């Protein structure tokens, strides 16, 4: 997208440059968000999904790098960013807070900044379903780093796991946590269906507290009347599950077709219902969930 936000200013993307000595580049002292925007050109309208929740998570992530930035400021800057860019195709917004100091001491530095850029984004994963490997790289433990924040440095593990999966001919990687339980994919949360119940690793399983995950839990309970259980999940449960799917801002609701050599059933009645409801909600078609949608006129 043509306009970026950097050092409190909206400037052309190609002019948004940083020093090679910036602390975040060397030590991963940054935290990011990721949001989708859906464009309805016929209505001159853009919809953002759960802007307040994304802004709150980024504000919370910023606390780990000692940067005080309010959810309201993040949200209003994102809205202004969208207005300045006037995108005409669906897009992804990447806000980032980062230690901007040029200091070389590996400590949390006092100088920080907030930037935003955006890009066009259609499907991130094949919407009809993905094949997943079980990564040899383990998800980090919360005792080592703040997994509730989207800290950039953390993502080396996702990068290694995803690259390994692709090199083995899979689409996506599932990661095991330090307790030997399955927790999530490289950038998505995980759900499985067993005997009509929806199961997802709990927030004590070293997952990222996904905003799509939170939405799906509410939709499943309130709209589909499903029992939703948050608990630890064993690897072997996945292989015999009735349905498995991934959720995330980029991935939306993506069914899993295969895990390692284990094929999952092609019939996915619950995943299909959840996906359809979620898509309707993100497109602003369900008035009950209108509080999840920010409408921006362009
Ligand atoms: N886990 C990880 C590691 C992620 O990076 C993401 C993407 N933000 C998710 C889960 C899904 O989170 P959300 O639904 O908030 O996009």
> How many angstroms does the Cα of residue 209 sit away from the middle of ligand 1?
7
Query: Residue 243 C-alpha to ligand 1 middle, in angstroms?
Result: 20
Percent of the chain scoring above 90 in pLDDT: 98
CA 85 to chain centre: 22
Q: Which of 182, 248, 254, 278 should be mutated for ligand 1, with most atoms under 8 A from CB?
A: 248
Query: Each residue of 213-270: pLDDT tens digit?
Result: 999 999 999 999 999 999 999 999 999 999 999 999 999 999 999 999 999 999 999 9
Nearest atom (ligand 1) to Cα of 214? 14
pLDDT tops 90 at residue 7? yes
Which pLDDT value is given to residue 26?
98
Strands 228-230 and 197-200: parallel
| For residue 181, pLDDT beyond 90 | yes
Residue 298 has pLDDT above 90, yes or no: no
Non-local (6+) Cβ contacts of 193 within 8 A are 199, 241, 242, 243, 244, 268, 270, 271
Contact 54, 94 (CB under 8 A): no
Residue 83's Cα: distance from chain center in Å?
A: 23
List, in order, residues 6 or more apart from 250 with CB less than 8 Å away: 34, 36, 92, 121, 124, 125, 187, 188
Ligand 1: residues with CB < 6 A are 34, 158, 184, 187-189, 208, 210-213, 247-249
Strand-pair category, 91-99 with 35-40: antiparallel
Q: Is the pLDDT of residue 32 over 90?
A: yes
In the structure, what pLDDT confidence band is assigned to residue 203 with cuts at 50, 70 and 90?
Answer: very high
């Amino acid at each position: 997208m043509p306009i970026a936000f950097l050092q409190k200013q909206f400037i052309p993307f190609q002019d948004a440059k940083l020093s090679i000595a910036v602390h975040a580049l060397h030590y991963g002292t940054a935290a990011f968000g990721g949001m989708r925007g859906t464009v309805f050109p016929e209505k001159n309208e853009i919809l953002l999904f759960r802007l307040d929740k994304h802004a709150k998570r980024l504000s919370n992530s910023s606390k780990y790098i000692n940067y005080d930035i309010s959810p309201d400021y993040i949200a209003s800057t994102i809205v202004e960013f969208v207005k300045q860019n006037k995108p005409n195709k669906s897009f992804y917004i990447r806000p980032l807070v980062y230690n901007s100091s040029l200091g070389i001491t590996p400590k949390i530095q006092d100088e920080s900044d907030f930037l935003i850029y955006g890009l066009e984004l259609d499907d991130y994963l094949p919407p009809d379903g993905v094949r997943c490997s079980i990564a040899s790289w383990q998800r980090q433990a919360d005792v080592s780093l703040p997994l509730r924040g989207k800290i950039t440095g953390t993502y080396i593990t996702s990068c290694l796991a995803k690259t390994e999966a692709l090199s083995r001919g899979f689409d996506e990687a599932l990661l095991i946590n330090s307790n030997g339980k399955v927790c999530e994919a490289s950038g998505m949360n995980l759900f499985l269906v067993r005997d009509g119940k929806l199961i997802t690793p709990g927030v004590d399983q070293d997952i990222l507290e996904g905003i799509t995950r939170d939405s799906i839990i509410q939709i499943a309970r309130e709209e589909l009347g499903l029992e939703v259980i948050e608990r630890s999940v064993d690897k072997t449960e996945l292989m015999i599950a009735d349905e498995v799917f991934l959720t995330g801002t980029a991935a939306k609701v993506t069914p899993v077709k295969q895990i390692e050599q284990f094929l999952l059933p092609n019939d996915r009645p619950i995943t299909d219902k959840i996906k359809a409801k979620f898509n309707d909600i993100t497109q602003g078609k369900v008035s009950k969930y209108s509080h999840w949608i920010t409408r921006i006129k362009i």
